[in-house]
Structure 1
Amino acid sequence: MSLELRFTGNPTTDAASWLTPERHWPALTAATAHLDAPVGALHLGALRHNALDMVRRASGTPIRIASKSVRVRSVIEALLEMPGYRGVLAYTLAEALWLADSVDDLVVGYPTAERGGIQRLATDPALASRITLMVDSPAQLDLIDSVLPPGRREPIRLCLELDASWDAPVLGHLGVRRSPVHDPADAGALAAYIAKRPGFALVGMMSYEAQIAGVGNQPEGRPIDGALNRWMQSRSMPELVERRARAVAAVRRHAELEFVNGGGTGSLELTSADPSITEVAAGSGLFGGHLFDGYAHFTPAPAAAFALDVVRSPSPAHATILGGGWIASGPPTADRVPRIVWPEGLSMVARESAGEVQTPVTGRAAARLEAGDRVWFRHTKSGELSEHLNEFAVVDGGAVVETIPTYRGEGKAFL
């Protein structure tokens, strides 16, 4: 776990080879040529660039690392050693319990029904002091009490989630379907209820503005969508800032909040400027999945990528790659497919696309590909790539400087 991310200076000068594709990708090919495919590469210069640029964009507001967008323990631990990063937003209780050996501030970003995990958390004072559970309903407190009632367990730290979606005129609900707690009065009422329940301590609030943080405002080749998204975001954020401030005030009447969390990679500037926020959550911008290319105000470097082998040529105009069907979660649309980034001039065959065990490609570069050649891809999402790889080869200075396991490589699959 020796990954070194500390860097002083201007991140734009940190070996920005990714700005010159004809140098960057062949250099990655050469550095990892001794490794069998599938090859996962983590370019250290690009990762440093992204980590520091996110700190710059947060303007002094601490960043809680969204672990689902990384899923590599050594990277998470290295980031926590950097100024500007504090704590982890985990995605399951089981993951938080595992990370708690080396991380002392964990918030589980979603409510849990993991009874075994609750039992372990509730009977271990050290774990109970490090891990905070997400709630948005009394029923979730009832579930915890059904595992172990107050008096027979440690006090459970809680974070109340406020729904950050926008009820837009005409368009209706914009955002994600998360917490049922939307109005400040509802947030205050739930906080008052929690305060009266023995065995719980409400210590935080969270709200994730997905319609701002997770929606590109300048998607490639879709100018009308970009204009609509910018219009939506310019109206949604002011509404949320005002409503969130009232909700935080209502909750603080009943609880001493240690933190108020919000945002995501795409909204670091806006969320960190909200006076009610004490920290922001972000992770996708670290590895730079291609879904985050469509933003006008920042451009993540492609820190994480994967390479697969060409294994056959079914015709003079086609080449076939072994594997490739690493489809991202979300709406089943074209932007969920891995993006071929090298060699340039390749495209997938429409009737097959990215396949489970083979991906045929065509285009001007296909005829030049031979068995054993490498093709580089970027995954749509950031952390989901780690679910397909046992390890990343960390590349720096044109060579593999170390190999680090993903969660999968450490034998962990939390969802």
Structure 2
Amino acid sequence: MQPRTRLDGATKELDPPLAVVDLDAFDHNAADLVRRAAGRPVRVASKSVRVRWLLERVLARPGFAGVMCYSLAEALWLSSLDVSEDLLVAYPTADRGALRELGRDERARRRVTLVVDSTAHLDLVTAALGPAHPEVRVCLELDVSWRPLPGLHVGPRRSPVHTPRDAGALAARIAGRPGFRLVGVMAYEGQVAGLGDAPPGRPLRGAVLRWMRQRSAAELVDRRGAAVAAVRREADLEFVNGGGTGSLESTGADPSVTELAAGSGLIGPTLFDGYSGFRPRPAALFALPVVRRPKRGVATLFSGGYVASGTATPDRHPTPHLPRGLRLLPLEGAGEVQTPVVGRAADALVPGDRVWLRHAKAGELAERFTHYHVLEGDVVTRTVPTYRGEGRSFG
């Protein structure tokens, strides 16, 4: 059966806009992440999923362990529902209400670990909970951006802790603060994990990215290893987290890393089409209805302005997927209420037909829909709520 026929047939009783998760593709992607991790446990990055049913499904698979949350409020909610007993909040929190809730919840304090990169983060916790607060688990974030020359920074701007000396000094300060227990190190190399090395139609850029990724990964092995050793002199670590979907192999080869992280590879958004070493299957798609035919070669869809976060560049726009041969107009893009698509395939469309699209990022589609329809084979077998469908929005 043709892919579009399968999707249209399975959802024919449902009115678009709608979103589906192809469970066959999702499970295939999960298995491939475990294969690529080569024995290292994979912590699931929840921001790339944002559907509790899918998180629970992947956590039940061998090879996955723990959740990398994107907010403390999210971690507390997942803990209350027993989604996981190992919840790493991978971004520092300034949510005083959530911190107070953590302070009141003994079970959550055993499960939740907060990322910190300075004593200012410890001060925030103490200000929210009081100086005699119960013990809070924390994880030191090491900056693993590549700095090949003075003043040149390649990678996300995250932690100020860059050198082994920085890491050891902060670990000592954490160890000396009552009410905190340092249990982990996180080191996310976004310049390796989050940049595809084979962007379609851009071979020169791909060559430059491959060169940068190789040298950044090689430099990081020694520096991360030394930083972890410095931290271990101050604390008994439970885990050292690294990597992302795009760097499982290189990060997994680092002997200082005990676990990997991945999330986007489960969903397969368009930003992950540009990697030479792997190709996730598109697992999440959304359908928009055709509502106008303004002229030959053009069909206008309802809604569709689901633009991804990050740089304001064309690669953050949704991409028409089926029928094949459609594209967005550069001067209109994907609109708040209407999205024109152009191409020969538009001439076969009539109002009421649907066009299937893919989002640029993995989890942000779930902020646009309250439910995903789960496709198994050629049939929608269930409908599951997204975080937003459960009345939760943590971004």
TM range (shorter): over 0.9
CA distance in 2, matches of 1:305, 1:338: 10
Please give the per-residue CA displacement for 1:18-45, whole angstroms capped at 9, x wherever unaligned: xxxx812220111011111111111111
Identify the match of residue 45 of structure 1 among 24, 49, 59.
24
Q: Distance in 2 between matches of 1:374 and 1:108?
A: 39
- Aligned: 1:198 with 2:172: no
Distance 2:304 2:88 in 1: 33
Residue in structure 2 matching 1:145, options 126, 136, 139: 126
Q: Which amino acid aligns with 2:331?
A: R
Confirm whether residue 248 of structure 1 aligns to residue 228 of structure 2. yes
CA distance in 2, matches of 1:347, 1:53: 30
**Offset from partner CA, 1:208-264 (integer Å, 9 cap, x none):** 000000000001001011000000011000111100000000000010000000000
Task: Return the match for 2:53 from 59, 70, 74.
Answer: 74
CA distance in 2, matches of 1:240, 1:376: 40
Would the aligned equivalents of 1:124 and 1:154 in 2 still touch at CA under 8 Å?
Answer: no
Distance (whole Å) between structure 1 residues aligned to residue 72 and residue 225 of structure 2: 28
CA contact (8 A) 1:132 1:157 kept: yes
Deviation at 1:143, TM superposition (A): 1.0
1:334-386 CA-partner distances (Å, limit 9, x unpaired): 10000101111212222211111101111111121100001000000000110
Distance 1:150 1:36, change over 3 A: same
Residue in 1 that maps onto 2:97: 116
Residue equivalent to 1:187: 167
Assess if the C-alpha contact under 8 Å between 2:319 and 2:328 holds in 1.
no
Q: 1:315 to 1:171 in 2, by over 3 A?
A: farther
Q: What is the alpha-carbon distance in structure 2 between the residues aligned to residue 132 and residue 138 of structure 1? A: 16
Write the distance in 1 (CA, Å) between the matches of 2:363 and 2:21: 12
Q: Which residue of 1 aligns with 2:253?
A: 273
| Distance (Å, rounded) in 2 between the aligned partners of 1:155 and 1:350 | 53
> Runs of 4+ in structure 1 displaced over 3 angstroms?
none
Give the counterpart of 1:136 among 117, 132, 138: 117
Pairwise CA RMSD: 1.0
Aligned-partner Cα distance in 2 for 1:173–1:317: 45
Superposed, 1:8-407 pairs within 5 Å as: 23-101=2-80, 102=82, 103-151=84-132, 153-169=133-149, 172-407=152-387
1:266 & 1:170 partners in 2: Cα distance? Answer: 27
Alpha-carbon distance between aligned partners in 2 of 1:170 and 1:312, rounded to the nearest angstrom? 55
For structure 1, the 5+ residue unaligned runs are: 1-21
Equivalent-residue separation in structure 2 for 1:131 and 1:79 (angstroms): 19
**Identity %, equivalent residues:** 57
Report the TM-score, using the length of structure 1 for normalisation.
0.93
* Alignment TM-score, normalising by the size of structure 2: 0.98
Q: Which amino acid in structure 2 is aligned with residue 116 of structure 1? A: G
Say whether the 8 Å CA contact 2:72–2:95 is kept in structure 1.
yes
- d(CA) in 2 for partners of 1:173 and 1:191? 24
CA contact 1:188–1:247 (8 Å) conserved in 2: yes
Q: How far apart in 2 are the matches of 1:230 and 1:401?
A: 41
Indicate conservation of the 8 Å contact 1:39/1:306, yes or no: yes
2 CA distance for matches of 1:287 and 1:148?
38
Contact 1:37 1:309 in 2 (8 A): yes
Q: CA deviation at 1:168?
A: 2.1
Gaps of 5+ in 2: none
Letter paired with 2:26:
L
